[in-house]
Amino acid sequence: MRRPRTISRAAPLREPEAQAATLRPASYSDAGLTELFLDMIAAEQGASANTLDAYRRDLADLSHFLSRRRLSIGSADTAALRSYLADLDNRGFATSSVARRLSALRHLFRFLLSERIRADDPAAILAGPKRGRSLPKVLSIADVDQLLACARQEIDAAEGGARLRAARLNCLLEVLYATGLRVSELVSLPLSAARRDARMIVVRGKGDKERLVPLNAGAKQAMARYLEEMAAAKAPKDGPAPKWLFPSFGESGYLTRQHFARDLKDLAARAGLAPRLVSPHVLRHAFASHLLHNGADLRIVQTLLGHSDISTTQIYTHVVEERLKSLVRDLHPLGEGR
C-alpha cells in the first residue's frame, strides 16, 4: 500500500508572505495534484482503497474533460466546472453520480486552497443537482428464501471443486443476509470469524471503525459446512491454513467483490429470479428492510449496518411507515381490520 505523503500545514502568513508562499498550480500536473489530494485523505481521513480508487477515477475524468478545453485542474474556473457537470448530465449520469462527482470536486479544490496551491476555490459556489428520494431495491422474504434454498441444493448436487465453490457461495449468501455487511467487509472476513463458538464477529468498516455483528444459526451452519468442504479439498502438503475466510489467489488474498457479485447473479438466474434485481447491496437492503418490517429499532439497524449517521439509515423509513399503517389498520378499534 502506498505510504501517505505528509503535507506540512504552515501557520497563517501575512498577506505579502502568503502570496509569496502560494505555489504555482502550473508547476503540478493534474495527476500530481490528484495524488497529493489522495495522500491527504488517506492519511488524515483514513480513506479506504475503494474510496481512493473512486476519487481517482472521478478526478481523471475531470482532467480529461478539462484537457479537451486546454485547461487543467490548476487553471479551471467555476464556468469550466459548471460545464463539466452539464457534460455529465448530457452523458446520462444519474443524479446521485453527478452529486458524487461534485463532492469530489469540492473536496479537491478546498484542499488546493488550504495548501495554497490555488488562491481561489472555483467549486465553492457550485450548486448540486436536486436529488429525489429514491427507495432502495429490496427482495421479498420469499425471494431470499428461494435464493438460499437454491444455494443449499447446489452443494448437494455438486462434486469436487464445484462442491467447494457451491459451499462458498452458500456461506457468502447466508452470512450477508444474516449480518447486512458491506460486500467489501464480507469478502475480507478473516478465517477467525468462523470459530465454532463465535456468536458475534468483529467487522472493520469504513474509516477503519470496528463494530460487533451477531451471527445467526443459519450463518454459523453455512460457515461450518464451507470449512468442512475446504478441509476435504485441501491436501496435507498444501501448507498452513489461509488467513482469510474466502481466500483467493488475487493480489488482496481474498475473493473480490466483483467475483462474488457475478456468482450471485448467476445463482439468481438459476433460482428463477431476475439477475438485474439481485446484487450484494440489494441483499444488504433486504437485511435492513426485513428487520424493520419485523419491528427492529432504526437505531439498532443503524449500528448493525455501520452507518455513522442515522440519516443514511432513514432511507428505510418507508418500511416502518408501512408497518405502522398496517398496525393501525389491523389493531385500531375503528380500523379496517375490525
Q: What is the pLDDT of residues 270-315, one digit of tens each?
A: 999 999 989 999 999 899 888 888 888 888 888 888 887 777 777 7
Catalytic, out of 56, 106, 206, 259: 206
Residue in 317, 287, 322, 314 with CA at minimum distance from that of residue 141: 287
- Residue indicated by cell numbers 505555489: 23
Q: Which of the two residues, 245 and 13, has the higher pLDDT score?
A: 245
Q: Which of the two residues, 121 and 2, has the higher pLDDT score?
A: 121
Catalytic, out of 118, 168, 182, 285: 182
Helix (H) or strand (E) holding 200: strand 200-204
Query: Minimum mean pLDDT among 54-63, 247-256, 319-328: which range?
Result: 319-328
What does residue 211 show for φ and ψ, rounded to 5 degrees?
-145, 155
Catalytic, out of 110, 165, 307, 323: 307
206/260 Cα distance (integer angstroms): 20
> Rounded to whole angstroms, what are the CA distances from 154 to 144, 159, 170?
16, 10, 9
100 a catalytic residue: no
Catalytic, out of 28, 84, 254, 316: 316
84 a catalytic residue: no
* C-beta separation of 181 from 304 below 8 A: no
DSSP state of 275: G
Decide if pLDDT at 337 tops 70.
no
Catalytic, out of 281, 293, 318, 323: 281
Region 146-172: mean pLDDT is: 94
137 a catalytic residue: no
What confidence tens digit (pLDDT) does each residue in 134-155 have? Answer: 556 678 899 999 999 999 999 9
196 a catalytic residue: no
Query: Minimum mean pLDDT among 62-76, 147-161, 206-220: which range?
Result: 206-220
* C-beta separation of 246 from 168 below 8 A: yes
Kindly indicate the confidence band of residue 318, based on its pLDDT and cuts at 50, 70 and 90: low
Residue in 40, 52, 47 with CA at minimum distance from that of residue 8: 40
281/53 Cα distance (integer angstroms): 19
Q: Is 247 helix (H, G, I), strand (E, B) or coil?
A: strand
pTM for the complete prediction?
Answer: 0.63
**C-alpha 324, offset from chain centre:** 30
Q: Residue 334, Cβ neighbours under 10 Å: how many?
A: 6
- Ordered by where they begin, the domains of the chain are 30-115 (1.10.150.130), 141-327 (1.10.443.10)
Kindly indicate the confidence band of residue 200, based on its pLDDT and cuts at 50, 70 and 90: confident
